[in-house]
């Protein structure tokens, strides 16, 4: 009797996941996962994109351009590969998350006993995808409605710089840009609604201050009065950009 109840619960859970996954057409794949040292190490990103495309998703790397229909980042799924702690075996599982970091689907663990890293990661990842293929994904074509989606008004607010009393140039971009923090090793990458990586920030000993890198500009992301500012020097002037970040 207990066994039947367990099987029923698993079917219900998988059905719920399947229904949720089917609401999404496209998936964003990071080129680097938390446990890897370089982009596409062991070809995990390539293999992930291949399997997701095989399942029927439109799969994109984080650095690829996507269609205007996906301007709302909440219409996208976000893919990740998680490495589990293990001795003498390689264990991986995959997850799909929505724009609010809510897990939509988590696969069963793929296990490999191969000693060669390339073979081990390939085998473990392919096995992790087995339970995803079992969902028999099929896009419903209705889109996903999320209460926290961004609403486009057609008008783009303009950030007007001004000088504070201490000659710091203040630029308020909080109304024109909302960035979403995605965890990376030792910090976060901030992405816009494209989603495009705009900035990377790295942890310091102060929880309210991050080392920040935006293109060729390096500065700090600092919290003041519950607001975030990207501060850096430009032509000997201190620039302070007020931005909105959702961690």
Angstrom distance (rounded) from CA 222 to CA 239: 13
The answer to whether residue 147 scores a pLDDT higher than 80 is: no
Given 115, 133, 151, which residue is the final one in a domain?
Answer: 133
Q: What pLDDT, on a 0 to 100 scale, did the predictor assign at position 31?
A: 93
Reply yes or no: is the peptide bond before residue 97 cis, omega within 30 of 0.
Answer: no
Does residue 64 belong to any structural domain of this protein? Answer: yes
The 3-class SS string of 159-206 reads: CCEEECCCCCEEEECCCCCEEEEEEECCEEEEECCCCCEEEEEEECCC
Count of domains for the chain = 2
Residue 129 domain-assigned (yes or no):
yes
The whole-number pLDDT of residue 171 equals 61
22-36, 112-126, 141-155, 225-239: the lowest-pLDDT one: 141-155
Are 201 and 102 found together in one domain? no
The mean pLDDT value for 5-9 works out to: 41
Question: In sequence order, what DSSP letters do the residues of 109-175 get, joined into one string?
Answer: PEEE--SSHHHHHHHHHHHHHHHHHTT-----SS----TT-----SPPPPP-EEE-TTSPEEEE-TT
- pLDDT category at 64 given cuts 50, 70, 90 is confident
Residue 145 has a pLDDT of: 40
Q: Is residue 153 part of a domain?
A: no
Please check whether residues 20 and 111 belong to one and the same domain.
Answer: yes
Per DSSP, the three-state class of 51 is: helix
**119 lies in the same domain as 35:** yes
Q: Are residues 62 and 166 in the same domain?
A: no
Bigger pLDDT: 117 or 149?
A: 117
With a pLDDT cut of 90, the percent of the chain lying above it is 38
Residues 213 and 103 in one domain: no
Output the pLDDT for position 49.
Answer: 94
Asked if residue 113 and residue 171 are part of one domain, the reply reads no
Which residue shows structure tokens 């205007």? 68
Same domain, residue pair 30 and 114: yes
Provide the pLDDT confidence category of residue 174 given band limits of 50, 70 and 90: low
Parallel, antiparallel or unpaired: strands 237-246 and 169-172: parallel
168 assigned to some structural domain: yes
Residue ending a domain, choose from 117, 133, 149:
133
- Judgement on whether residues 67 and 167 belong to the same structural domain of the protein: no
Domain span at 169: 161-246
């Amino acid at each position: 009797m207990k066994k039947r109840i367990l099987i029923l619960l698993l079917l219900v859970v998988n059905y719920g996941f399947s229904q949720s996954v089917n609401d999404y057409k496209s998936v964003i794949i990071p080129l680097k996962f938390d446990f890897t040292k370089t982009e596409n190490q062991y070809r995990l990103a390539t293999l992930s994109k291949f399997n997701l495309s095989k399942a029927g998703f439109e799969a994109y790397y984080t650095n690829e351009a996507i269609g205007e229909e996906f301007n709302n980042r909440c219409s996208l799924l976000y893919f990740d590969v998680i490495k589990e702690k293990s001795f003498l075996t390689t264990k991986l599982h995959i997850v799909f998350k929505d724009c609010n970091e809510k897990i939509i689907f988590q696969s069963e663990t793929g296990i490999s006993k191969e000693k060669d890293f390339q073979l081990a990661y390939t085998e473990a990842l392919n096995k992790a995808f087995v339970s995803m293929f079992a969902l028999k994904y099929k896009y419903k074509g209705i889109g996903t409605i999320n209460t926290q989606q961004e609403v486009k008004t057609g008008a783009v607010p303009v950030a007007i710089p001004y000088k504070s009393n201490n000659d710091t140039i203040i630029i308020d971009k909080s109304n024109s840009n909302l960035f979403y923090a995605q965890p990376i090793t030792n910090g976060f990458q901030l992405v816009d609604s494209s989603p495009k990586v705009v900035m990377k920030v790295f942890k310091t000993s102060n929880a309210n201050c991050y080392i920040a890198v935006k293109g060729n500009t390096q500065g700090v992301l600092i919290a003041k009065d519950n607001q975030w500012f990207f501060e850096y020097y430009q032509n000997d002037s201190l620039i302070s950009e007020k931005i909105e970040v959702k961690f």
